[in-house]
Every structure is written in C-alpha cells, then in structure tokens.
Structure 1
C-alpha cells in the first residue's frame, strides 16, 4: 500500500474505480443474493456466472398480474359509492375520545396483482470440465458485467450490459481459441399459464399472458448473432425451441428485448382506466432486429457513452486502509464488521447510484420495492410501491448526486397513474371536489384507495411526501419550465386536497387546524394532529407560498391557512418530539419508522428553521436514542440508514457512522443488495438510502423556503434572502479521513467539490454557481466546527 504525506499528515490511498467482483459463480438457488444486477430502466438482467449452463434471470418493469388486465371493472380499490359521509362521525368520535378508527373507509383490493419475473435466459456450453482462473465482476462506472475463466487451454470471456440507447440487453461470449457448441434457450417455469416458446431463424420468442382469459400480454425475444457466419445459417431447433450454435466460433452475441402491452398513458377515465396498449410482439421484434444489425462494438460504445455520462457526474473517493479493493466483494460484505471499512461504504454508495441509474430511466416505471429485479412469481409485498418511506427513500439523494434527470418516471407515473385515480379516491373517500390523494400501498394500475388495515394503509399523506421530491427537483435544478408544467400541478393538487381536509381542533380548542383522522405510518392509534402529517403540510404550503404570485387563488388560501395549521413540532413530557398532538409516546419504543422526525430528515420543516435551536436538537437526539438502533423492530436496513441520516443532521458523527456500519453488517447480502431483516426478501430501499445517509454526512444545504417566506411576511422585498449557507463535511467520520468528493449539487442549481484532511475537516473546495434561486445573491461555505472557507 502506497502512503503519502501532505502537510505533515499521513494520508491513506483513495479507493480505486469501483466494481463488484467474486472469484466464484453465483448460486441459482440464491439468485437475489449472489447474482450481479444489470438494467436499463425497463429491462433487468441478473447473470449468475455459472461456467457450464449459465442462467440469466430476466425482468421487464411493467410485467404485473391483476388490475384491469384480469378484471375490466377494476376500480383501483375505490368504492362504487361515496364513503365520505362517514367522516364527520369518525372525526367527532376521535375528538371526543382522542383516538378512534377508520373502518368505515376501508376498501377492498381484489385483483391488486403482483409484479413478477419475466423468465430465464439459458446459455449452455456443456460440460466445462475443470475450470480455473474464474472471476466475475460488475463495473459500476460502465454498467458492464464480465466473467472469465479457463478450461484446459481455452480462455472464455462473457460480457453483458443492458443498453438504454438501444433498449436491449446484450450478452457476448468470446474465446481465445474456439467456443464449444452453445445452446440458447428462454424459459419461464413459474408463470401460469405457461408462456409459449418458439424458435425461428436465430431468434427465440417467449410469448405469454398473465391470465387464461384476458391478462397482460408479455413478449421476450433472444436473437443470436454469430459474427462471420453465413447469413443463411439457421441454428434454430424448432422441436425444443432453442438456438444451437455449433462449436468452432470465436464470438457469439445474444440480443435480448422484451415488452408488455401495459400503457401508463391509458390509466385515466378517457381510456377507461384500461392501461391496455398494443400487443408488444411487433415492437419487441423491431427493437431486437434493429439492435442485431449493429456490431457489438457499436452497441457497447453507445451504452458506455450513455451510462458513463450519468455515473460520471459525481464521484466519492474514500480511503482504502485495508487494501479491500484486492478482495472479492462477496468476501468483504460477508466479513464486514464494526467499526466498518471505508472502501465497502464507498462501494455501497456507488452501488446505490448504479442501481438507480439501472432502474429509473425516461420511459420506465419508477423503481419498485425491489428496484427492477425479482426472481419470483410473487415477490414480497407484491413488489409494489410502498409510499410511506420506501418509494421516497429511492429518491433521497438523487438530485444531489447528479441524477435528477432520471426522476422522470416518478413524475410521469404520478401524473398519468396516481393523479387520475387519486382524484376519484379524494372524492369517494374524503368528499374532496379538487385535488388528489394516494395511500401507502400502490400497484401499477392506479390503486390509490385505502386497503383494509388501517395500521398499514391509512396513509393518505403519501401524496405530500411525493410532493417533497417534486419540490426538491425544482430547488436543485431551478428548472422553471418543468416546475410550471409538472412540479406545480403536483404540489397544487396535493395542497387543494389537504386544505379541504383540515378541521378546527375540537379536542384542545386552541384555534388551530388539524388533520382528523390520521395515523403515523404503521405505528400507534388513529387520532388527530399527527406530527408527521403536519410537518409535511407545513413544508408543502411553505413551498407553494414561495413560488406563486399572490394573485393565485391557492396562494391566497394557503396564506390564510398556514398560520393556523397546528405545528408539526411539539416537544413532549420527556423532552421528545411528539409523534401525535396528544402526548402518547412511550419511552424506548423502538418502532422502525421515524415518522415524527420527517421534518428533520429528509424533510425540512424542522431542520431548516430550527437547526441551531438547542432545545429542538436535544429533543431530536432524545427521540433517536429512545427509538433504538433499528435492529429491534424487524431489523430493517432502511430503518438504520434513516437513523444514520438523522444523527448526521445533528453532527453526531459517531452515531451516524455506527448506524451506517450496522446496516451494512446486518442487512446487505454477498452481492451488495439489501435484505429485509438480514435475509431474503431483497428490498432496494436501503441500497438507495445509503446514498442519502452518506450525503447528509458530507454536506448540509438548507431549504431556504422558510427564510424566504419569513422575509416576505416581515417586510422583505419578494421574500429576498441574501445568503445561502452551506456546511461542508459536517459529520465526516474519522475513518474517512483524507477523502474527497466532486459534483455535489446544492439547492439553487450550483455544484461543489471538496476534500478533507485526515481528521475529516474540509481544507479545499471549488464551487460552480448556477441560477442560485429567487433573490439569492451570495453563497457562503462553512466547515465542521463553524469556520468559513472560501470556495
């Protein structure tokens, strides 16, 4: 290991370019914990790396059972008649008794459906005999998978990637001598009814439907290309629907394309909420055929140009004190223990960005609970969208790490799928004539109503949490055209709904407006004035009040409503942040959710106006200590990284790092995918959440909306804020000493790069300003301990 000395300080070498690698194949019985994932947003592939009969697990993001594809009368869970008449009685009971229930609003969820695996690609090279020099890897900067091994005097190399420009996955086999005979196949042994597999020319087509009658149609095509072979060569075996390439070739390519007849643009009343598009066969054939005409080098070049333009927008470089880059990733993660390993933490940070690039692209669906990748016919929780932390965590640090353009699937899905059905739900369940609402569990068919268990499903404020991410996209990009066309309508629709739901507090009679009924996500009673709700609404109303002219009708309504909104920050009897307006918190309640700390992180209603208020920050710490370290309640990875981010916001570096390290130790599988409770199922949220937790240690960048609104209300001109204060390295762990980061986006449209010394104190920075926001004239940078630094 090479050491350097800078200004008298010993500096450890920084980690090299990142990749996952192993010196042994994956395991077919444990695909989700051993295979390395590839994706282009729509298509997902997981090569296992078996030398003989290789298996590549395949996914297409829209392949769902259920919904209108199996029941034309599907309503998204909405009742046929209004249930809103039950609300006055529910509210009256809760105000009289403090708590109550919402059973009268429960819905049914027939045909809710499930995400499902597409199938497996098989590549059979026969008996390889003794294999040596085996290695497989996934380059996180290029999105290219590679495995290599030697059998006798033959070296075999297999390479794969999923291309966004060409909308295919590409698999290449090559040898220094000649390849053995290869049999290619497509299969799905889990789906019912079993799909039809045929072979024609050099292409295998898998064509299926998710139900015996109407169902969603899905089609996959694997086209085999043998460079140098005669154009008339036909390697199909129609009897067993395989492509059989004889031995003797040096190179063989496979082009994979897939699709379904799901069409998100048909998820509205005008289209009968059918979501039914065209049979995918023709488009899949055209896509595969077009790509198969291109050379491998052309396909790979286009992929690399596209992928590296995204992965290269941001770089985190932490030290590698243990020379971990020379060890297999599988070994590093399996043996990872406290106090941690900076190389592994850097690797998982890069992996989180990689997984987002691979599962969220324009034209795709947003990442689901498993991102894009499942080997199951019925994955846990249907592989759906849980919107009380999981979907949001996927988008935590996307803007800050230069991937804001990849949030398009979320905005499109909100506007095309959730808003149309959500407007119906708002009226049928809550009597709201404007705006839209969703709940916690949502499928790809616009299920926006409440399921039948209040503890899990009574979460209508999911719409406001999604609006938080729409605001962040605007605040980081300053894209006024996007905000006008997409962002503002999302926020405004949410606000219109919630304005209609606020009622005067008839329990405390304190003149405030509260939400009644409400339920803190997955925790506690149905009551009124839930802290989490009020933090979200304070944030939402503030954002809207700082971005529209006063002549706007909604602006006028919100300006009258916000001052009377019950606060989302109440300090309770044992100095905790209350989770409800009633002081119902129990000491040492180690529930996995931190709903009452949303306004601290990832929200801003506490952290922006009260970051230096010692009474508030002490209450945050008290709440975190009471909530435990995230192992006690279901031992989830996402709970730990949320705790890590909250501790980082308090500049509690030791606790922040300990929680991050604990998540890695407890919740990450050999291939780096995060595991619920430390074992299957895979749940992608913690992979994405690691990125947010690390960013909170690296940079503190306040949302200035509260200061702007305060300035406007106190005589300022146009809500003008003179200085944007950014703290660099507020909670960098000692183990990360001597690291650096480049390309961090900050609110207002700028970006900053910086490095820090062996003690974690930033000693160099460079800032590139851009469109710093309305009325903003100066950006000031500070470092750990409060000192200023010139960038």
Structure 2
C-alpha cells in the first residue's frame, strides 16, 4: 500500500511538487499547531500524537441556541414595529448630526454559538519513547494530511487523513511495514448533556443534543475497514469502542467517519415557522459510512485527490525560494521570519493555504465558512463562530472568483436566500418600515438572526448597527456573475438577491435634512464598530451606490421587466450621496460629517470600501488625483493595523490590499510581513494576541487566511469592476505592486471579469513578460493589459 502515491501520480497525471506544512513533533495546542482537513460539511483538526492520536470534529451546522433551544426564537426581531421610535431617532440625528439609536436595538436571546461535535481518538499500544523520525504534515496540493514515525518493533507507521467531498466522509488511514500493535478507536465528547455512545459491527455511533433540555440533534459514526478478506467477518467491537489486537497481524486499516445534524436551512421561513428543524440525520450518516466503507482505500483516496485538485490546481502562483525554505519545517520558517526581511516561499505557502482552507470549508452542499471556517475546538466559539458581515464573511471569499473557486460558493448563495431573506424581510418591516426588500445587520447566526443585537444599550450600537451589510454581500453576488457570465444563475439566484437589497434601500433612504443638499442618505448608521450613530456613513453610501449600479449594469441579463423599478433605481442613484468626500485633513471622510480624527488607528477601513474591495472609488475615480491622494492620506492616518483597539491579521491584509491599489509595493508587502509576524501561528492559522506567554489561549479567526489571498492577488492584478455608464476598452494592470523579493514569479489561471483567464511572469528584473490570455470570448468587453508604468503589454491569445 505504500505504492499508492505512485499509483496516483500515474492515474492523475503529473503531480507537482508537494506543498506541505510540516513539523518534526506532534501538535498539542489546537490554535497554533493543529492542522485542518475538511470537505465543507465535515471538518477535523488533527494533532498527530504517537501512541495517542486524535481529531477534533466539526459538523458545519452544529450550533447551540436558535429555535432548537428557544421555542419563541425571533431572530432578534421585536414583537411589534419600532418604526415610531425610528422616526424620532432620524429627526433627532438630522437636527443634531448624531444621536442615540437605543430605541431600535433588539435582543440577542437564543443567539447560540458554533460548536465542536466531539473527538475521534486512535491509540497504539507502543512506547512513544521508542519512536524516531517523527513527521506531522499537511499536503495542501493533494488535500491530505498525516503523520509518520519509525519504531524498531513495528517498522514505519504512517497515518493519512482526509475529508472527501465525493464520499461525504473523513478517512483515517493507518499502515505499518510490520504488523501493527494493538489499535484502539473511540468516539467521545465532554458535551453536556452527555451523548449516547453505542458500538456494533465494527462501528461506533455518537449521538446527542447540542444542549439541554432541547437542542440540535447530532449523529456521528465511525467504522473500521480492512483490506482484502483476512479480517472479513471478525468483530473488533468493545463496550467502549473498537480494538484490533496485535495478534490479528494487521498491517493496514482505515476508519470511515461521517457526521451531520437535524438542521435544515430550507425550514427557516414563515411557512415552516422558522424552525430550521429537519429529519434525524442517522440514516444519512449511516449511508455515507456504508458507501465509503464499501470502497477500497485507493479508490477513496484517488477520487478525493481528483476532486480536490480540480479546484486547487485551477490556479497557481509560484514565488521564488531564495532561502531554500521548501526543505524546512514550517515552524522553523515561522521562527526565522522577520519584519525586516520576508520569505517568498513562506508567503506563497500562506497564500496557497488560504485557497486550501476555502476548498475545505466551502462546498455546494455546505453552509458558508464562518469566523473559524469550519474548524472549532470549543462548545462555544469566540464571537460565537458566527457570520460577521462588516468585513469578515466578505473577506472569507476574497479571491475566490479570480482563482477559479467561485463554484465553491453555492452554499453562500443558498444560505442568504434561505436564511437571511425570509427573516430579513420581517426585520426590514418591523425596524425600518420598509414595504419591500430585506436587511441584515453585523452579527448573524445559522438561524437567521437578522435583527439588531444590543439589548437596548446605546454603547453597543457601534457593533451591530450596520444595515448596509446586505449591500456589501451583494458585491460578491455580482462578482460571481461578472466572472462567470452565467445568466441562468443570475436570473434565478443572483439578481433576486440584489433586487431585494436594492428595494430595501430604495424604501429607507432619506433626503438629507442636515445639509439640505438634496442628496439621499442612510439614517441612522454606524460606520462599522465606530461611534457615533449618525447619517451618511461613507461605507453605507458607497455600497448602496454599487448595488444600484450593478442593478443597472446587469439589467438586460436579469430578465426583469419591471421598468418602474429600474426608473426608481436610476433616479435614486442620481441623487444618492456617494460617500466619497475629501475632508479637512485631506482624507476620505468616514462620515458625511467631517469629524475624522487623524490619530484614529481603528482596525476598520470602512470609508475605503470603495477603493478595495469595492470599485466606487478605485474605478470611478481612479484618474482623480485628489481622490487617490486622499486614499493615501487615509491609509497613513489609519496606521499599520496595530492600535489600541485591536491587533488582528485581517486589518493588516486589508490595508495591504489598499496599498496595492495605489501601486505601492513597499507598503503592501510591509503590511503582509507585519501580519505574518504579528498574527500567524506556526500552523499558519490567523490568530489574535500572538504572545508566547499566553500560548494555549490564542484565538483563531480565519478571515486573514482568506484575506491574504485577496491582498496578494491585488498585488499581481488590477482587474477592477467598472461603474454604470463607463464604456470603452478596459485596462487590466499586471504586477502593479509586486515587490522586488517576488521578482522571478509566475501566475497561471487568474480569472478575469467578463470571462477568460490570464497568465504571466514577472522577470528577475521586475518586467512583465509571457502574457497569455485564454478562453476569452470575442463577445466579452475588450481588454488592454498594461504594467505598473502604464506601458501596454504584448499578449498572446489562446
């Protein structure tokens, strides 16, 4: 069976050099050392101990709270209309500029949290002290992790781990060059209430409720499988798990594991009582296990790698390796990494790891990746492991379309359609008096918590009062159509979402009664996580303008015949305050009021949304030097992303992407290095409070892992969206912010707006060469490719 790697190389074509995270010792700390595998619905973090090996297990929908725990769960919505209170708030803010919105803040009762299911443990009856040549690894090119070591008595013992999307199961493969020692297998959990664990026919079943007295039902099953027929008919079941004695003479076995819950997102609507309650998952889980167990290990592995590489290898970025880092353990690379000098190999590994994590946490049948992707080790997660929609969920999908991973996002579109729209329509009416459309706010669970949180406390308004969250998410809906050109999807899925958001904002925008300038503004609003509550927050205005422009740009593709709606959008767009105004310090104002503080190094770059990742500044005003200078000034004021408010990775890579938009490779690359030094652990997880003295309490938050993909892509390619009415040949800039350390790099398969993909190299002298445009339809908008100096590039078409 050690020939299976050669078998796969032959069957799947030429296999590129492995892209591995690896270590010479087992992991003990989950947030900084454990390594992840996943298939969207299933996720596992492995530690790779020698005689005691374990996985932390996650099923993507397992949450506490919601209607399972609170039968009168309302998604944060009030029992009756808050519109009278809202009108008073709006009048006060227009009169005074700022005000309190406590009167419309709602409840977080039953909000709940994403939660670990339990753990799979595999024991080997051997003395760990006799082991040598230990290696713990994760091959992100094949989507397979594992561990191995050598003992004199049992030879080389190798364990391979993966979660297969085709099989809808996770596989733990154990093999040795000599007969294995006694192997024990168990499923367990310290949840309360305690789950029921049963064993029969070489299978362990773990079932329980997420919380007491009522809670979501979960079911996990693990079956042990052997090659050939030597063990056929033998039962290794014990009262507590499975045990294969050394006397069995087994050299190879594997464990098939599947899990699920009775959560059903199609039941989160009024007609189903917002119950989200589906059927018992037992039959489905048992079927997954049985189907996978009926296949050979080679077959399971081959179909998994083929599926994974179809996504992973759709795009590639190759950076130079001047330090020979490919031959070094990942923790050694992290230890040697400094702010003064980067390591291109490690930086490219981090980039590819971000793509790997998206493949592992976002698939068509899964929920979208949350604050921890799908990997969590607690019964309650930091920030509930939820969906923060003022940068975090959005950053999770940065770079997905450009790297060929847009097809992994079907679960995101379904989640918004099934979970946000029904309850969000209710929120729109009860809180804002909107007669059409839907809205969500900043913190959202799997149960449609679309209302405001805060429990009536004005001091919490800055965290939750963000009614343009729906507009930001529509950027990614539009992008999916813009990159794919899939009109059927746009008509049936994308456009209905965008139209509903446009309708909400058409119903709620107000004419500015503070400046009386005839513009339409949002009132009230909070620039994400910043006081005060005011009107005309830049981010809201920029995002709504893009929603309106996208409605009009995609009108013909939408199939919509409602010309009155189109006229309303056109009229509103013509009067909308754009959210782009240069203030007294030469900055882009964060609010329509010129109240920015140049000493404010806050983590969010909300007022630069339209620069990156949006286009309402970067494309519409790209030739306006006053605006671009104001963007630069704003970045200088905001600082490097480590201030009194926070020290997060996501804030640094967002800054890095914005600097890349200014063609500033020095600052963009510095921000990336700063993030790596401050916020990435040895397992390349993005963490908070990376203090060696507090290891074991670090908080993993996945957004910077995904955000790194977006930043690095923006350093290599500017393929900006365009504003409504902008026409003519479109310019794509190649290598606008590639630092000297990355000269000698190559990018292949970068998808483009309007279809097609571009590949090119950056020479050792920093020149763009070998530009190839592939699969671009003649009917697509015409493109001109230039380098950072504006020089037009020669392009080969294929």
With normalisation by structure 1, the TM-score equals 0.94
By how many angstroms is 1:551 displaced? 5.5
By how many angstroms is 1:109 displaced? 1.4
| Cα distance per residue 1:577-611 (max 9 Å; x no partner) | 00000001001210000000000000000001112
Aligned partners of 2:243, 2:429: CA distance in 1, in Å? 55
The equivalent residue for 2:647 is 635
Q: Unaligned 5+ residue runs, structure 1?
A: 1-14, 712-720
Moved more, 257-266 or 15-24: 15-24
SS in 2 for 1:609: coil
Aligned partners of 1:337, 1:772: CA distance in 2, in Å? 47
By how many angstroms is 1:612 displaced? 2.5
RMSD: 1.3
Aligned partners of 1:577, 1:662: CA distance in 2, in Å? 24
Matches within 5 A, 1:424-435: 424-435=426-437
| Cα distance per residue 1:363-403 (max 9 Å; x no partner) | 10000000000111111011111010000000111000110
1:564 matched to 2:566: no
Q: Unaligned 5+ residue runs, structure 2?
A: 1-15, 455-459, 692-697
Q: How many residues align?
A: 759
| Cα distance per residue 1:279-313 (max 9 Å; x no partner) | 11111111101111110011011101100100010
User: Among 731, 735, 741, which residue is 1:735 paired with?
Assistant: 741
Aligned partners of 1:20, 1:611: CA distance in 2, in Å? 40
Matches within 5 A, 1:566-581: 566-581=577-592
Matches within 5 A, 1:373-522: 373-452=375-454, 453-522=460-529
By how many angstroms is 1:133 displaced? 1.0
1:779 matched to 2:776: no
SS in 2 for 1:372: coil
Aligned partners of 1:456, 1:515: CA distance in 2, in Å? 17
By how many angstroms is 1:784 displaced? 1.8
1:701 matched to 2:703: no
Matches within 5 A, 1:287-686: 287-338=288-339, 339-452=341-454, 453-549=460-556, 552-632=563-643, 633-678=645-690, 680-686=698-704
Aligned partners of 1:244, 1:769: CA distance in 2, in Å? 54
By how many angstroms is 1:245 displaced? 4.4
Specify whether residues 752 and 168 from structure 1 end up closer, same or farther in structure 2 by C-alpha distance, changes over 3 A only.
same
1:439–1:449 contact (8 Å) kept in structure 2: yes
Aligned partners of 1:722, 1:509: CA distance in 2, in Å? 36
By how many angstroms is 1:16 displaced? 4.9
By how many angstroms is 1:761 displaced? 2.3
Aligned partners of 2:580, 2:106: CA distance in 1, in Å? 32
2:179–2:246 contact (8 Å) kept in structure 1: no
The equivalent residue for 1:717 is none
SS in 1 for 2:699: coil
Moved over 6 A (4+): none
By how many angstroms is 1:568 displaced? 1.4
2:354–2:705 contact (8 Å) kept in structure 1: yes
Aligned partners of 1:388, 1:165: CA distance in 2, in Å? 33
2:148–2:158 contact (8 Å) kept in structure 1: yes
1:761–1:784 contact (8 Å) kept in structure 2: no
Aligned partners of 2:116, 2:562: CA distance in 1, in Å? 51
The equivalent residue for 2:214 is 214
The equivalent residue for 2:8 is none
SS in 2 for 1:316: strand
The equivalent residue for 2:728 is 722
The equivalent residue for 1:55 is 54
The equivalent residue for 1:716 is none
The equivalent residue for 2:755 is 749
By how many angstroms is 1:66 displaced? 0.6
Aligned partners of 2:687, 2:777: CA distance in 1, in Å? 40
Moved more, 324-333 or 644-653: 324-333
By how many angstroms is 1:750 displaced? 1.3
1:657–1:733 contact (8 Å) kept in structure 2: yes
Aligned partners of 1:414, 1:690: CA distance in 2, in Å? 24
1:203–1:243 contact (8 Å) kept in structure 2: no
The equivalent residue for 2:135 is 135
2:237–2:243 contact (8 Å) kept in structure 1: yes
Aligned partners of 1:574, 1:110: CA distance in 2, in Å? 43
Aligned partners of 1:571, 1:291: CA distance in 2, in Å? 60
1:790 matched to 2:794: yes
SS in 1 for 2:130: coil
Aligned partners of 1:520, 1:773: CA distance in 2, in Å? 40
By how many angstroms is 1:773 displaced? 6.7
With normalisation by structure 2, the TM-score equals 0.94
2:57–2:120 contact (8 Å) kept in structure 1: yes
1:226 matched to 2:242: no
